Structure 1
Amino acid sequence: MQMRDGQQTAKARLIFDRWMAFEPDHAAWMAYIKFELRYNEVDRARAVFERYCEVLPSVKAWVRYAKFELQHNDVARARGCYERAMEALGEDCHVEEFFLRFAEFEEMVKEHERARAIYQYALDHLPKAAAQELYTRFVAFEKQHGSREGIEDVVLSKRRFTYEQEIAANPLNYDAWFDYVKLEESTGNHERIREVYERAVANLPPGNEKRFWQRYIYLWIKYALFEELDAGDMDKAREVYRTALKLVPHSRFTFAKLWLLAAKLEVRAKRLPAARKILGLALGSCPKGKLFKEYIQLEMTLGNIDRCRTLYEKYLEWNPANASAWLKYAELEVALAEAGRARALFELAISQPVLDMPEALWKAYIDFEIAQGNRERTRLLYERLLDRTKHVKVWLSLAKFEAEPLPQPEEEEEQQEGEEAQQRQPPPGEGASPAEREARAVRARGVYERGLRALREGAPDAKEEAVMLLEAWRDFEAACSDFRRRVEVAAAVTAVERKMPRRIKRKRAITNEAGLASGMEEYYDYVFPEEAGAAPNLKLLEAAMRWKRQKLAGGGGEGEAAGDGEQQQQQQDGDGQDEEQQQQQEEEEQEEEY
């Protein structure tokens, strides 16, 4: 019986051998191997595996061979299968499945260092997009068997993999490059950091529009700062700036920050001629206000006044409408005690046909003349300004100027005296006597009168500005009590108050975008005394309203006692009401009647 079984087995083996001669697929070879294992023919099964891996050299075949050896407790042979597979297959074995099985085998036999080496080798040689499962397994492996440093390395590797995916999908995603660089900078590996920077700046923005370049140019800036501050390589940082400046199309746009950082690098390296050369090239090829300001500030720090003046002249030739540049230039001359040069600059500035902030320039010129103590020049400046504009603020400023004494420059000895000596002496100033203060008050009062007349005649709709002027005038008259009698002050204040308008509430129609009426809105208006005189019916209406209120309060002419009692009661009830609300109600009633 056993002989017969042996004969049948030999015949089956012969059939398998003839079948294998046709080089069938994996299932046929595994059927042959399982046949041998059913009869405990381990050596024959191993021989079949050898033929199998020779005929079908693939990761699948070698992995099955290694599992076979491990199942028969031959760890060395199993490891040899994986190693022989890498030699036999070459680049074909660089797939995720092979390294996963190899690492799992080493982990199973407690060879953790070998498994870690396999994971790291695989992550370094496989494409990032083809190793997602490998990253996941490696993280789990390190969490279970690795140290803290190993876990951190794995986390870094996984984040690197994420960033590589993002930049592979969109190389122009500069935010992803910034995050990637920040990750590498946290590791401190300068070679890796340089590699990422070089890869990032190699992706030029599409098109010559500044909005595409704004994020990109900061990669170059961060690259240069890394070389200077972290790596300590000034020459490399200088080369980075030079390359970045060559890439920017300066004929279309430029980046002042890039020029300035390159120049400041040379200043820190104590190479002032090189810094001046960079800034001069910037101003010659693509002038910008920020470049002029920083260059002037640099020369100011170095104390080169003549260079500052030359730069200001170039600045104003390039942009004569820049009021800030005129102001800074004049302030420089004032600081140098060059009053004549400063005055000439102010004259040139206000004579420009176009200025972006003329009001600031005029104010600075007036303040300069006030600081010089020249009242006549200041007054002429105000008159020239009033020829251009009749704004209420100009009138208020002129009136304040006429009312106050001019500051007098103190002597050097007085500046060195203490606070006690200054308190004993009267403050220096113009017009300390009551007569001179009265003269100033007369001039200020004349300004208020001129201003009110100009506003009412030249701009009758500017009622709020006129009210503002009258209120300032009233406050001025009330403040004259220190050198005038109380009766005179009260009379002056009363005279101004008579010019004050009466505020009333009115209604007007609201129109929508289509020009159709969509309702009514309330607003406050001012009625000046001259306007009230032009409408005599208003006085008649006021008298009628007073008569109506008296009639309602007195109950007619029949019961004077009852009316008086009722009127007293109403007066007591009305004591707690707000006077402004009562006045507003009366004005509403008057407006409705009107």
Structure 2
Amino acid sequence: MALAIRAAAGGDMAPPSSSDPSLGFLTKRDTEVKLPRATRVKNKAPASVQITAEQILREARERQEPEVRPPKQKIADSVELSEYRLRRRKEFEDAIRRVRWSVSAWVKYARWEERQGDFARARSVYERALDVAHRDHTLLVKYAEFEMRNRHVNHARNVRDRAVSLLPREYDGCTSVQQTCWQMMSMLRFSFAEFEERCREVERARAVYKYALDRVPKGRAEELCRKFLAFEKHMRTRRKNPLNYDSWFDYIRLEESVGNKDMIGEVYERAIANIPPAQEKRYWQRYIYLWINYALYEELDAKDMERTREVYSECLKLIPHKKLTFSKMWLMAAQFEIRQKNLKAARRILGNAIGMAPKGKIFKKYIEWSPANCYAWTKYAELEKKLSETDRARSIYELAIAQSALDTPEVLWKEYLQFEIDKNEFHKACELYERLLDRTKDLKVWISYAEFEASVGLGGEDNQSEEIKNEVCYQEQQIEQVRRCRAVFERAFEYFRTSAPELKEERAMLLEEWLNKEVSFGHLGDVTLVQKKAPRKVKRKRPVPSEDGSTVAYEEYIDYIFPDEVALAPNLKILEAAYKWKKQKTDDADDD
């Protein structure tokens, strides 16, 4: 640097003084490296409050501003939900691998699975945790609380039994830990006793309290005794109210455990004597189960079938069916009769149920037992009609007519046809008539079909718009009605003439109905159309066979001679003349 300065000065110069700061020279002091001064530790003892790295990170994140925090994930579909659960489970598994002995990590994992509704996975997490720390009282308590929260009764009792058998032996060595153990055991027994009480298992709860009192030292039994006395006081208070049916159930269960049949029947009678004060279902729901249990006891335990029948009968008489009813009671009474092979009595019970308290369950069970019963089908459809369930009612009718055997099919078809007519579904009614004619060609069906066509025509006046309700269109509608009605009569007459010629009387009755209908049509009718088809009545005799096959007498009957038959049989007139001559000769002989 000195040479550089000299060259810049352009010649020889005396060396400058090193103490001249204006020339930019650094002193030794300026070039020394200054290191941080070592801090003296005054107290080397560990701090009373230890702060972990995890806590520092958590506090740092909590201090972040909301806008810099990562946004919460919004799960939109099942795929994202599955991915989220997979990611969270991986995080929990990683945490468990790092701190395998941390009970809190296992509990957090199980709690998360519980919140997801996957109880099997939550239970698996607890079981894995118990493999690591099977005598940890906190873990057992948390496991038991999980089972009780979700009403897994048998699992909860299993955890309780494991805890009771494991915990006392673990802590016999250390006094302070033993005290903690007794506290946790007391807590566990309290929770299980309360759990059994909530499940209405009074005797189980009492047994848990007594088991604990027999094993807890007297010096630590004050809290347990206080809980037990409160429990017994609560039970006595409940029994003072005769309308508290749960207390009656407890009483009955106690007597059944003893096995005194006379006493059991007496308690049941005392219980059912407490009829609910109001005719509201919420007061009767628990009460009815007293009757159900009573009937089941008489049938299954006492084996008294007559008394069982009386119990069902008395209960059904007692229920105010106009205000409320119970389908379960009707069905159980009918099922009892079926078990007794008394199908007639079962049908009578369900028939009374349909008449007094029509419910969908009763109809379905009745139809299930007796699919040929048209009465049940029609009443079931009627129930749906009252509820304005048109499609359901139509489906019920369709199911009914599809049965291979029906006791009164004509009633069912008539109800179905009337249902469609009432709904102004005239085209559907017409199709239904055609389906019925495919099954039967009975005279009544033909006449009913013709009457239907004469009354509604193409769709009935109710379905017509205002524009066609003038006189001209009304006349056109009448003409169409007459035409369709006449077409049905002609089809019926042709059927009886060609396919059933032996049914002459039915054919004559058909023509008589047809003639009356043509007269009712007024100027639109054509009586001559029917009159030329009308038969002539002829009295004839036919032999009446006796039991041994011989003919000893004759009977008169009316025969019908149709015009088409006369054309086909030209010799019929000769036969008729011969018959008249013979009849005249017989009459003359009688006069003599």
Q: What TM-score, normalized to structure 2?
A: 0.42
Higher relative contact order (CA 8 A, sep 6+): 1
Larger-Rg structure: 2
Q: What TM-score, normalized to structure 1?
A: 0.42
